[in-house]
C-alpha cells in the first residue's frame, strides 16, 4: 500500500471519528435550529461571521438561508459579515482587526436577531468581540467552535462545540452542522 493511500485512509478515519462524536451535540443543534426558526418567523435576521475557512462557512450558510437549501421557499434574512472588503479594511485600518465584526454588529444587529460566531479555537478575538457586542445589544448569540469551546463557549447564549482539536476536522463538522441547521430551517418555511 502506498504512503498516499495510508495517509488518505488516516484522514478519512479522523473525519469519520469526528463526525461520530457529533452525536453529543444533537440536542444543541436542535435547540439552535429552533431558535433560528423562531427568530426568522418573528422578523429577525441571522448575522454570521468567522475568519479564514470559518469566513467561507459563514458565507456558505448565509447563502443557503437567503437562497434556499433544498426546499423551494421564500428568501430568509441572513448576512455574512465577512464579505464587504471595504468595511473589513476600513474598520481594520481605523479601529483594528479585532473590531471588524463588532462594528458591523453594532451597525446591523437588532435586539432578538441571531448572531453566530464561528471559530475553530473558540478564541478568535474579533469573533469574541462581535459576540460580546451582540450580547450587549440583546441579540441571541451562538458560538460554533471546536476543542474545549474556548472563550466563545463561555460568552455565547448557546454553543455547539465539535470534539476535536484538528482545524480541518472541526471545519468539516461545522459545515455539516450548518447544512443540518439549513435543512431544519427549510422545513418550516
Known binding site: residues? 51-53, 60, 64, 93-94, 119-121, 124, 171, 179
List residues forming the annotated binding site for Zn(2+). Answer: 60, 64, 171, 179
**Three-state SS sequence of the chain:** CCHHHHHHHHHHHHHHHHHHHHHHHHHHHHHHHHHHHHHHHCCCCEEEEECCHHHHHHHHHHHHHHCCCCCCCCCCCEEECCCCHHHHHHHHHHCCHHHCCHHHHHHHCCCCCEEEEEECCCCCHHHHHHHHHHHHHCCEEEEEEECCCHHHHHHCCEEEEECCCCHHHHHHHHHHHHHHHHHHHHHCC
Other CB atoms within 10 Å distance of the CB of residue 181? 26
Binding site for substrate: residue ranges? 51-53, 64, 93-94, 119-121, 124, 171
Amino acid at each position: 500500500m502506498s504512503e498516499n493511500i495510508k495517509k488518505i485512509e488516516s484522514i478519512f478515519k479522523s473525519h469519520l471519528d469526528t463526525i461520530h462524536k457529533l452525536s453529543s451535540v444533537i440536542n444543541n443543534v436542535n435547540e439552535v435550529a429552533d431558535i433560528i426558526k423562531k427568530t426568522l418567523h418573528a422578523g429577525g435576521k441571522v448575522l454570521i461571521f468567522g475568519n479564514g475557512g470559518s469566513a467561507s462557512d459563514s458565507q456558505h450558510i448565509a447563502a443557503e438561508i437567503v437562497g434556499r437549501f433544498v426546499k423551494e421557499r421564500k428568501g430568509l434574512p441572513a448576512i455574512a459579515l465577512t464579505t464587504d472588503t471595504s468595511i473589513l479594511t476600513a474598520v481594520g485600518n481605523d479601529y483594528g482587526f479585532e473590531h471588524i465584526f463588532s462594528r458591523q454588529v453594532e451597525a446591523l444587529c437588532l435586539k432578538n436577531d441571531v448572531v453566530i460566531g464561528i471559530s475553530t479555537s473558540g478564541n478568535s478575538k474579533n469573533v469574541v468581540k462581535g459576540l460580546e457586542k451582540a450580547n450587549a445589544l440583546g441579540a441571541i448569540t451562538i458560538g460554533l467552535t471546536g476543542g474545549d469551546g474556548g472563550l466563545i463557549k463561555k460568552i455565547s447564549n448557546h454553543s455547539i462545540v465539535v470534539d476535536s482539536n484538528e482545524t480541518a476536522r472541526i471545519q468539516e463538522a461545522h459545515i455539516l452542522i450548518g447544512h443540518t441547521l439549513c435543512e431544519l430551517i427549510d422545513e418550516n418555511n
